[in-house]
Amino acid sequence: MTAKVDFLTSLVTFTERVLTRRKKRRLAQKMKQQAKHWIRDWAEAILWAVCMVLLINQYLFQMYRIPSGSMSGTLEIGDMIFVDKLVYGPELLPGMAKMPGAREARRGEVIVFENPAYLSKGPVFTILQQFVYMATLTLVDIDLDEAGQPRVHYLIKRAIATGGDTVRVVDGEVSFLFQGTSGWVTEREYQKASGFSYPLRRMVKPEDYPSIGSAGRIAARIDMGIIPASSLPAYNPYDELALNRTRLAELAAAYPQDARIVAEDRKIHSGWYVPEGRLFPMGDNRDNSKDARWFGAVSLDKVLGHALFVYWPLGRLGSIR
C-alpha cells in the first residue's frame, strides 16, 4: 500500500512539474510575442503566408491568370483560374524530378505546361522569383527578358492529340489520323462523334485563303530574289501557317536539293506525328495562338497541371471544359 501511495505521489508531482513547465513556456512565448515590434510581426506573418502559398502552388493547386486571347471562347484575358497540380504529378522542384500523378493528360483537356521556348535559370532562381512575386503581391517580377518584359514560363492550351496521332492543318482546319486508322477525321467530325465539344474560334474567313495562298507564292519568289520585297500584297496576317504552306511548296519545287526546305514542306503538308509520351497542344482561338504548330509536340514531363475552373471574375465562375 505504501509503494502504491508513493507511486501516485510521484506521478502527481511529475504531472505538476510538466504542466508548470508547459505553462511557463507558453507565458514566455506570449511575453516574447507582446514584446515583438508590430512591423516584425507583420513581416513574419507575410513570410509564413508566402511560403504556404508557394508550397500549395508547387504541389497541390496553382492560381493562374490568363494573359492572352489564345484560348478565347474558353478562357478570356484576365480570367483567374485554379490548376490541379496533383492529377498529372507535381515537380519535386521547379523544372526538376516530376513526381508520379494519378494519370496522364487526356485528349481534349486544357493543360498548363512549360513554355518550350523558356530558358530556365535553374530551380533556385525560379523559387526566388516566385517568392518575390508573391511577397510583393505580384508587383515585382525579376524574371524579365532583354526588353524588360516578364518572360513567359508557362502556357495554357488544349491537348488536341496524344501519342500515336498525326495532326494536319489545312486552311486553319485541323484533321486527325489516329493510330491504326487510314482515313483523316476533321476536328469537328471528331467532336460530333465523341460528344466532347469545345469552342473553336477563327479570325480568318474561308474566302481569305486564296489571297493568302497568292501571297505565299509571291513570298517564295521574294525569298528567291526574283522580285523585290515591296511586291508582297496585302493579306489576312492571322494564318501564317497557310502562307508558309504555299511559300514552302514553291521553294521546295525550286530547290529540291535543299533538304531543310523539303523536310519543312513535307511536314507542313503531311502533318505532325505525335510520338508516344507527348501531347499536341493548340489554342481554341486557332488564328491567334502560338502553339505546337510552331514548337512541336510537348513532353508529358513538361505538363504541369489540369485547368479546373474559373474563380474570377464572378460572372465567369464555373468549370473549364
Rounded to the nearest integer, the mean pLDDT of the chain is 89
pLDDT at 167 over 60: yes
Looking at the fold, whether 152 and 29 belong to one and the same domain comes out as no
Please check whether residue 279 is in contact with residue 155, taking contact to mean a CB–CB distance below 8 angstroms: no
96 domain-assigned: yes
Q: Where are the beta strands (DSSP E) in 183-275?
A: 185-186, 272-273
Distances in Å between the Cα of 176 and the Cα atoms of 104, 167, 194, 231, 271 are 20, 5, 13, 36, 9
| Total number of domains in the chain | 2
264 domain-assigned: no
**pLDDT-derived band at 39, boundaries 50, 70, 90:** confident
**pLDDT-derived band at 311, boundaries 50, 70, 90:** very high
Looking at the fold, whether 102 and 20 belong to one and the same domain comes out as no
Give mean pLDDT, residues 89-106: 90
Buried b (16+ CB within 10 A) or exposed e, 37-61: eeeeeeeeeeeeebeebbeebbeee
Give mean pLDDT, residues 98-116: 94
Q: What is the pLDDT of residues 79-93, one digit of tens each?
A: 999 999 999 999 998
224 domain-assigned: no
Chain position carrying cell 486564296: 210
Proportion of the chain above pLDDT 90, given as a percent: 69
Looking at the fold, whether 181 and 293 belong to one and the same domain comes out as yes
**Predicted local distance difference test score (pLDDT) of residue 313:** 93
Looking at the fold, whether 31 and 178 belong to one and the same domain comes out as no
Q: What is the pLDDT of residues 7-18, one digit of tens each?
A: 556 655 666 676
Q: What is the pLDDT of residues 201-234, one digit of tens each?
A: 999 999 999 999 999 999 999 999 999 999 999 9
Residue 320 has which C-alpha cell? 473549364
CA 160 and chain centroid, separation:
14
Q: What is the pLDDT of residues 46-55, one digit of tens each?
A: 888 888 988 9
28 lies in which domain range? 2-35
**Predicted local distance difference test score (pLDDT) of residue 188:** 93
**pLDDT-derived band at 114, boundaries 50, 70, 90:** very high
Q: What is the pLDDT of residues 226-279, one digit of tens each?
A: 999 999 999 999 999 999 999 999 999 999 999 999 999 998 999 999 999 999
Residue 179 has which C-alpha cell? 493510330
Q: Which candidate, 136, 132, 84, 134, places its Cα nearest to that of 110? A: 84
230 domain-assigned: no
Half-sphere exposure of 193 (CA within 13 A, CB side): 6
Looking at the fold, whether 310 and 195 belong to one and the same domain comes out as yes
Proportion of the chain above pLDDT 70, given as a percent: 90
Give me the CATH number covering residue 124: 2.10.109.10
Please check whether residue 254 is in contact with residue 227, taking contact to mean a CB–CB distance below 8 angstroms: no
Looking at the fold, whether 153 and 294 belong to one and the same domain comes out as yes
**pLDDT-derived band at 26, boundaries 50, 70, 90:** confident
